[in-house]
Structure 1
Amino acid sequence: MKTVRLSDADNVETAITPLKVGEDGAIEAIPRGHKLATQTIPNGAPVLKYAQVIGYAAGDIAPGAHVHTHNLAFRNVETEYEFSTNLRPVPPAPEIDTFLGYRRASGRVGTRNYIAVLTSVNCSATAARMIAGHFTPERLAPYTNVDGVVAFVHGTGCAMGGDGTGFQALQRVLWGYARNPNVGGVLMAGLGCEMMQIDWLIEAYGLTPGPLFQTMNIQDVGGLRKTVDLGIAKVEAMLPEVNAAQRTPCPASELMVALQCGGSDAWSGITANPALGYACDLLVAQGGTGVLAETPEIYGAEHLLTARAATREIGEKLIGLIRWWEDYTARNRGSMDNNPSPGNKAGGLTTILEKSLGAAAKGGTTPLMGVYDYAEPVTAKGFVFMDSPGYDPASVTGQIASGCNLVAFTTGRGSAFGAKPSPSMKIATNTEMYERLSDDMDVNAGRILTDGATVEEVGREIYDMWLRMASGEQSKSEAEGLGDFEFVPWQIGAVM
């Protein structure tokens, strides 16, 4: 078998290996992962994959022809939405799975135990990095239960204009990281005169300063060097108490997993994303939570999610996000089809509609229990959605701020990504890339094509690794030291 057809309704199929002229009906060379027509597709007719429209023929397409950017046109989606018509609740698992986690005073459970040095503004970024950099592995060696001291710095926090959306989003991110259960202690550093005042943040979100939540401003302390010295002293005082935290058995219902993809290819929606979706279903059966994001990357597939919405209100909130993004791209003179990226297209994806249909598979099959703004705290159990851009670091930053204590990341082209404080696992969509990037990939979903593995088998492998990671096993991105530079709050609105 050299091609795969995903539905009898489809008029294209995907090449598993490069096809030469004459192979499997190809009338021209077809790159691996790319589409070829299975029948004549007249100019303007819809092109179908996953039994869904992925675009429209930009000219007559002959059987066996290569279907890609040169002859497949994108149009904005006009869909009649159905709500709550495809509800498939998963029955509770017969046995409760557990992991060894850090039970916090809030009641939530961490999978890691970090001290976070957060910045209110870019002006305090250097101080934060100097403070965190002081705590080398040698200095932290006596504190065996502390995973590290990490600086979370960003390029904004002041000169923020517009309607306040960007300011509120940054507040939610900073508050979310301070409250994430993978963080055992927080030091927040500011300059003093910035728009993002630390005191306002504390008041708005009810944060309580204490031994494990410390703040300071460079202007008040007396300059950079004094701030760094004071920050080091504050973290040193936190270390014994943070180190006193112990892992204890906790139910899998305490896991909240960020469902993410990056560097996608044609196999993402065929192997890794459906397998991740099955793992999400297993987690939901345990009472846990899977958080899908990247709103531009469900565009064209959102009707599949509204049909799964537990209530009409949830579904309509999702459509509201879609309309916001259509307006956002239009007023910035862009297009929703700006995504896929060049790498996605080289891997066989042609339009955002095709990419979205594969990306939505990460959410499994269970009802959609909630829709949240960027970095808004997720309170529902089960499968939920959080608004974010498709840019991976910004999206994952929002998911972690929303409460995710693990990250699952599928990739087809390959991606070197990690996130702190929540450990990230990588799931390869194809065996060739898995073998080439073996130091970075945790799970090979390409076995579904090359070795006859089932989506369910790979999904179970992903889920089982979540339990091990949650108990302290390092993913490959963790072992490589990734995660210090992937804190990227979504910057919305004008810089004034």
Structure 2
Amino acid sequence: MAESSTARVIRLRPVDDVAIAAVDVAAGTGVDAGGGVVVARDDVPRGHKIALRALRAGAPVLRYGQVIGFAGRDIAEGEHVHLHNLEYREFRRDYEFGVDARITEVLAEADRDTFAGYVRSDGRVGTRNYLGVLTTVNCSATAAKQIAARLRHSGVLDEFENVDGVVALTHGTGCGMAPDGEGAAVLRRVMRGYLTHPNFAGFVVLGLGCEDNQIAALTRDVHMRPEVPVFTSTIQELGGTRKTVAAGVARLTEMLPIANAARRSRVPASALVLGTNCGGSDSYSGLTANPALGNAVDRLVRQGGTGIVGETPEIYGTEHMLVRRAVSERVGRKLLERIDWWREYTAKNGGSMDNNPSPGNKAGGLTTILEKSLGAVAKGGTTALTDVVEYAEPVTTPGFVFMDTPGYDPVSVTGIVAGGATVVCFTTGRGSAFGCAPVPSIKIATNTPLYQHMTDDMDINAGGIVDGDTTVEQVGERIYRRVLAVASGEPTRSESLDYGEEEFVPWHLGTVM
């Protein structure tokens, strides 16, 4: 981090061609990024890039010591670098499997940190204790929401202090699809992940009755914990909506004493599965919140725990860095197979992998998918990549794991939670509004102005890293400690705002018929 008397900029590597403005830089202002003073030729907004040297058209442009794009035309020293002069191009990436894999020495159990969680009969540990209403099809969504709302408003939940609440998990699909196709398989995988999630203590599973996604097909291969009561039925079987709502409320009320019998107990931090996601990113995401979250993931991995990173389209262009960290060539090739699938998937649907960042990302200073990916991948920390799993597939390998998910936040986190995440950390630079019941979501602001502007939505401010008040390591420690506290029952801002139900969005794949 370098500073002049007029404007502060951030240059991460000596080889970088650009620096990031820590404040708004007016044209004519001098900045010093450690290689001599450069005078800004244009106004450069906070978080945007300024050229530290002249670049010829077609030259690769480096940030993070990596290629973030190519000069679309000649770029002068001191010029604002963004959409008008930096463009995405494909380039060769070498895949060297496992050369950077750092095998983490896990602490002895006696030396591990602990948290207070719900130990379930299958050995997994929950961080919350919810009842759920899960729909097989969109047609039963209204009844499911009415069941949950009626129970909440009845006041009966106040009598059961160990029950965190009831959540309706509804979605917009479940019919008009091939019952044995890819879309149905993914939907059922998500639903099974939630049905067996350690943050749930009981379920009503509700269908319409005539849908493609039949309850029998859903529950056929589910291995529920024996202590979890599950009531399954359909609106058609129960005799209509009013009778269905009454039956659902009655069954959940019967489950309350069973769920309330659960108690928290101290368990090692190795029992935690931490999901990570970034949304509404800005140019600071890769400087502050994401590397700090990666530092927290490293700390958890050393405890024997698990950290999950997803959003495959938003690590595109950095896959060569991840395969270098893979514990084996097999794991590395699993990641490359998912990248190849995405190339084919986007091409088939008239898109491309560089159709990113979003308008908000660009306003925050991100120009290309390569730049965005280099910041996003920092959430995975520095330890070895121990496994790569498909969307909503159960995560059973400890350490740093990659899950194939879309970049769309609710769809991504739905898959990560279905895979077993019991706490989620969500970084944002523009101000995403998000939660993911039944799992608590910790919101981390990448910059101080955002934290101050949306303080009711943000749990942690990582902006002090840019402000010069703190370090990545210190914020990483703060995030890690907050994860333990939240896992033990401390509420998050998203929970206090009742986020989480509408953010249950399974990935919709396949043909709608």
TM-score, with normalisation over the residues of structure 2?
Answer: 0.95
87, 92, 100: which one aligns with 1:78? 92
Greater CA deviation, 220-229 or 107-116? 220-229
Q: Deviations over 1:231-267 (max 9, x none)?
A: 1111111110001000011110110011110010000
> CA 1:76–1:197 in 2, change beyond 3 Å: closer, same or farther?
farther
Equivalent residue runs for 1:40-59 within 5 Å: 40-59=54-73
Equivalent residue runs for 1:113-262 within 5 Å: 113-136=129-152, 138-161=155-178, 164-207=181-224, 212-262=229-279
Q: Secondary structure in 1 aligned to 2:395? A: coil
Aligned to 2:18: 12
Aligned to 2:104: 90
Q: Secondary structure in 2 aligned to 1:135? A: helix
Conserved 8 A contact 1:77-1:300: no
Aligned to 2:343: 326
Shift of 1:91: 2.3
In the aligned structure 1, how far is the partner of 2:418 from the partner of 2:276? 14
Greater CA deviation, 476-485 or 258-267? 476-485
- 1:173 is aligned with what amino acid? V
- 1:246 is aligned with what amino acid? R
TM-score, with normalisation over the residues of structure 1?
Answer: 0.98
In the aligned structure 1, how far is the partner of 2:495 from the partner of 2:166? 14
- 1:45 is aligned with what amino acid? A
Q: Secondary structure in 1 aligned to 2:83? A: coil
Aligned to 1:416: 433
Shift of 1:210: 7.8
Shift of 1:139: 1.9
Shift of 1:89: 2.2
> CA 1:19–1:468 in 2, change beyond 3 Å: closer, same or farther?
same
- 1:107 is aligned with what amino acid? G
> CA 1:461–1:16 in 2, change beyond 3 Å: closer, same or farther?
same
Q: Secondary structure in 1 aligned to 2:427? A: strand
Q: Deviations over 1:93-140 (max 9, x none)?
A: 362111111011111000000001000000100110111011126220
In the aligned structure 1, how far is the partner of 2:406 from the partner of 2:447? 25
372, 379, 403: which one aligns with 2:389? 372
- 1:304 is aligned with what amino acid? M
In the aligned structure 1, how far is the partner of 2:426 from the partner of 2:352? 25
Equivalent residue runs for 1:328-407 within 5 Å: 328-407=345-424
- 1:366 is aligned with what amino acid? T
**Cα root mean square deviation, aligned:** 1.4
User: Would you say 1:106 and 2:122 are equivalent positions?
Assistant: yes
Q: Secondary structure in 2 aligned to 1:337? A: coil
> CA 1:77–1:218 in 2, change beyond 3 Å: closer, same or farther?
farther
Aligned to 2:34: none
User: Would you say 1:441 and 2:447 are equivalent positions?
Assistant: no
Aligned to 1:297: 314
Equivalent residue runs for 1:22-33 within 5 Å: 22-23=28-29, 24=31, 25-33=39-47
Conserved 8 A contact 1:262-1:409: yes
Shift of 1:186: 1.2
Greater CA deviation, 480-489 or 273-282? 480-489
In the aligned structure 2, how far is the partner of 1:7 from the partner of 1:174? 44
In the aligned structure 1, how far is the partner of 2:286 from the partner of 2:373? 9
In the aligned structure 1, how far is the partner of 2:424 from the partner of 2:271? 14
- 1:120 is aligned with what amino acid? T
Conserved 8 A contact 2:179-2:212: no
In the aligned structure 1, how far is the partner of 2:12 from the partner of 2:469? 16
Aligned to 1:264: 281
Aligned to 2:35: none
In the aligned structure 1, how far is the partner of 2:53 from the partner of 2:420? 47
In the aligned structure 1, how far is the partner of 2:228 from the partner of 2:178? 34
Greater CA deviation, 372-381 or 217-226? 217-226
Conserved 8 A contact 1:258-1:408: yes
Shift of 1:211: 6.1
In the aligned structure 2, how far is the partner of 1:369 from the partner of 1:69? 36
Q: Deviations over 1:332-388 (max 9, x none)?
A: 111212221000000000000000000000000000000000000001001000011
51, 65, 72: which one aligns with 2:79? 65
- 1:198 is aligned with what amino acid? I
Percent identity for Structure 1 against Structure 2? 56
> CA 1:253–1:271 in 2, change beyond 3 Å: closer, same or farther?
same
In the aligned structure 2, how far is the partner of 1:484 from the partner of 1:168? 22
In the aligned structure 1, how far is the partner of 2:467 from the partner of 2:445? 13
Structure 1: 5+ residue runs without aligned partners?
none
Shift of 1:471: 0.6
In the aligned structure 2, how far is the partner of 1:164 from the partner of 1:70? 43
> CA 1:3–1:163 in 2, change beyond 3 Å: closer, same or farther?
farther
User: Would you say 1:483 and 2:500 are equivalent positions?
Assistant: yes
Conserved 8 A contact 1:418-1:477: yes
Shift of 1:208: 7.7
In the aligned structure 1, how far is the partner of 2:352 from the partner of 2:476? 34
Conserved 8 A contact 2:312-2:407: yes
In the aligned structure 2, how far is the partner of 1:194 from the partner of 1:376? 24
Aligned to 1:460: 477
> CA 1:324–1:162 in 2, change beyond 3 Å: closer, same or farther?
farther
In the aligned structure 2, how far is the partner of 1:297 from the partner of 1:78? 18
In the aligned structure 2, how far is the partner of 1:495 from the partner of 1:382? 37
> CA 1:480–1:211 in 2, change beyond 3 Å: closer, same or farther?
closer
Shift of 1:489: 0.4
Conserved 8 A contact 1:110-1:182: yes
Q: Secondary structure in 1 aligned to 2:340? A: helix
- 1:226 is aligned with what amino acid? K
- 1:357 is aligned with what amino acid? L
Shift of 1:451: 3.7
Shift of 1:206: 4.1
- 2:44 is aligned with what amino acid? I
Conserved 8 A contact 2:189-2:393: yes
Shift of 1:167: 1.1
In the aligned structure 1, how far is the partner of 2:152 from the partner of 2:244? 19
Shift of 1:442: 0.8
In the aligned structure 1, how far is the partner of 2:292 from the partner of 2:103? 18
Q: Secondary structure in 1 aligned to 2:491? A: coil
